[in-house]
Chain A
Amino acid sequence: MTPSARLDSMAWDSRRILARLQSFLGLVVIFILAILISPKTGAGERIFLEAGNLTDILRQAAEIGVMALGMTLVILSAGIDLSVGSTLALAATITAMVLTRWNPDSGAGTRIFVAMLAALAACAAVGALNGALIVSLRIQPFIVTLATMIGIRGLARRLTDNTNIDLGFGHDAASTFARVGSGKTLVVTIFAALSIMTGIVLTRTVFGRRVKAVGDNERAAFYAGLPIGRTRIWVYLLCGLLSGVAGILHAAQNHQGNPNAGISYELDAIAAVVIGGTSLSGGSGSITGTVVGTLITGILTNILRLNNVDSNTELILKAVIIIAAVWIQQIRISPLARRKT
Chain B
Amino acid sequence: MINQVTRRSALASLGVTLGSCGAKKATDAKQSFVAFSQCNNAEPYRAAQNELVTRICARSPDLRLSISDGQQDTSKQIAQIETLILQKPDLLIVAPNERAPLTAVMGKAMAAGIKTICLERDIVEPNYDTYIACDNHAIGKMAGEFIVEQLKTRYGKARGKIVELKGLLGVEAQINRHAGAHEVFDQYPDIKVVHEAVADWLQSKGRERMVEILRAQPQIDVVYGHNDPMAVGAYLAAQEIGREKQTIFVGVDGLGGPAGGIKKVMDGVLAATFYYPLAVDKAMEIGNRMLRERGFKPDKKYVLSSEIITKANAADMYQKLTF
Contacts and interface: CB of A to CB of B under 8 A. Distances in A.
B263 interface: yes
A311 B197 contact: yes
A164 B216 contact: no
Nearest to B258: A166
Contacts of B213: 305
A305 B212 contact: yes
B89 interface: no
Interface in B249-287: 257-259, 263, 267-269
A217 interface: no
Interface stretch (A47-55, A102-110, A122-130, A220-228): A47-55
Given A162-B42, A254-B203, A302 B212 contact: yes
A256 B259 CA distance: 8
Interface string B38-49: 000111101100
Nearest to A254: B204
A325 B240 CA distance: 33
A254 B204 CA distance: 6
Given A56-B215, A169-B267, A255-B203, A163 B208 contact: no
B198 interface: yes
Contacts of B140: none
Interface string A225-267: 0000000000000000000000000100111101111000000
Contacts of B208: 60
A314 to B, nearest CB: 9
Nearest to B208: A60
B236 interface: yes
| Chain A interface bracket (under 10, 10 to 19, 20 to 34, 35 or more) | 35 or more
Contact of A165 (B196, B236, B259): B259
A42 interface: yes
Contacts, number: 87
B241 A52 contact: yes
B218 interface: yes
B211 interface: yes
25 contacts: A41-B218, A47-B216, A50-B215, A52-B241, A162-B44, A163-B44, A163-B259, A164-B203, A169-B267, A182-B240, A250-B204, A253-B204, A253-B236, A254-B204, A254-B233, A258-B202, A259-B42, A261-B202, A261-B204, A302-B212, A306-B212, A308-B196, A308-B197, A311-B197, A311-B198
Contacts of B44: 162-164
A260 B43 CA distance: 9
B42 A254 contact: no
A258 B212 contact: no
A253 B259 contact: no
Given A164-B259, A184-B240, A258 B47 contact: no
Contacts of A100: 258
A254 B47 contact: no
Q: Which of A166, A250, A307 has the most CB of B within 10 A?
A: A166
